[in-house]
């Protein structure tokens, strides 16, 4: 991307006229890297030759991260009906794929420690989306249940970065959203000339997440082609879209006046295989899960 004056093809149409692509790339390039221990842990998780002992030794070097990983691993979403008391147990019991999502959740929470209203709202939405995506994949018996938790969590990565780096502008964006009838995506685009999916995808790439993860982040607000999903990536994107809708309209995480695009999301809901009754049950279950588990991620 460096040296390009125009956005690559995949990012065109996501930046308002007059916005300088190279400035956006430089701005993202200046962001801090993913914390070292978390970055190494994610690389180890993706290496088929990695052992549980190697991951235990690494995570043990960051006391705060290790404590948070243990806390999350003991939540009902990940524990396998037994108390997990050591990092090695956590890794052996929940598996590498779930561990990746837990490490990212713990790391993002550490990066989002400011407890202002905007930070709380976006973090709560991130966790509710992750829980909803996890539950959707479970109900559909998909093989990538734990991956969907991670994808749901990362869909707000761009928001978390924008809040940290553009706090004044994002305070105005949040006021617009609270005013009703406008989404974060719309308010960001109008105020900044781009929105959080673009920034999230660029940051995820900088942090060495897989191309598929970057693409799901980038496309999670884009229309889904009707019919059979062309790829697993398209299906995962649909899962995140539906989870995002559910999180925005969960009683515990809903912003009063936030637009209800039910007519837009229902075709995607049905495309995934839910009928209206099944979708309502999903929404109820997400609300219960969030109420029971949200404190684990606080």
User: What tens digit of pLDDT does each residue of 27-59 get?
Assistant: 888 888 888 998 999 899 889 899 999 999 999
Token pair in block for residue 115: 């407890």
Q: Does domain 114-298 match CATH 3.40.1030.10?
A: no
Per-residue pLDDT band at 113 (split at 50, 70, 90): low
Q: Which fold has domain 1-7+16-111?
A: Hypothetical protein af1432 (1.10.3210)
Instruction: Compute and round to an integer the Cα radius of gyration of the chain.
Output: 19
Question: Is pLDDT of 258 > 80?
Answer: yes
Q: 122-174, pLDDT tens digit by residue?
A: 999 999 999 999 999 999 999 999 899 999 999 999 998 898 888 899 999 99
For 154: left if phi > 0, alpha if psi spans -120 to 50, otherwise beta; the answer is alpha
Enumerate the CATH 1.10.3210.10 domain ranges in the chain, comma separated. 1-7+16-111, 114-298
User: Among residues 104, 108, 97, 105, which one has the least CA distance to residue 45?
Assistant: 97
């Amino acid at each position: 991307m460096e040296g390009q004056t125009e956005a690559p093809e995949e990012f065109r149409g996501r930046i308002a006229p007059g916005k300088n692509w190279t400035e956006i790339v430089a701005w993202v390039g200046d962001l801090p890297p993913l914390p070292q221990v978390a970055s190494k842990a994610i690389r180890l998780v993706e290496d088929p030759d990695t052992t549980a002992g190697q991951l235990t030794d690494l995570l043990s070097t960051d006391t705060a991260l290790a404590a948070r990983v243990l806390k999350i691993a003991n939540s009902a979403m990940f524990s396998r009906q037994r108390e997990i008391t050591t990092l090695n147990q956590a890794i052996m019991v929940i598996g590498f794929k779930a561990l990746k999502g837990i490490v990212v959740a713990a790391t993002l929470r550490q990066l989002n420690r400011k407890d202002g209203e905007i930070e709380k709202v976006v973090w709560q939405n991130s966790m509710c989306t992750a829980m909803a995506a996890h539950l959707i994949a479970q109900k559909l018996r998909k093989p990538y249940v734990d991956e969907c938790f991670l994808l749901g969590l990362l869909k707000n990565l761009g928001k978390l970065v924008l809040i940290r780096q553009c706090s004044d502008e994002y305070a105005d964006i949040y006021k617009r959203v609270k005013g009703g009838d406008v989404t974060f995506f719309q308010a960001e685009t109008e105020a900044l000339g781009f929105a959080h999916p673009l920034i999230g995808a660029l940051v995820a790439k900088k942090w060495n997440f897989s191309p598929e993860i970057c693409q799901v982040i980038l496309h999670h607000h884009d229309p889904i082609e009707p019919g059979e999903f062309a790829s697993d990536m398209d299906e995962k994107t649909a899962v995140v879209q539906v989870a995002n809708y559910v999180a925005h309209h969960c009683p515990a995480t809903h912003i009063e006046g936030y637009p209800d695009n039910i007519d837009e999301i229902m075709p995607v809901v049905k495309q995934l295989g839910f009928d209206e009754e099944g979708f309502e049950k999903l929404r109820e279950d997400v609300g219960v899960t969030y109420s029971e588990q949200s404190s684990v991620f606080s």
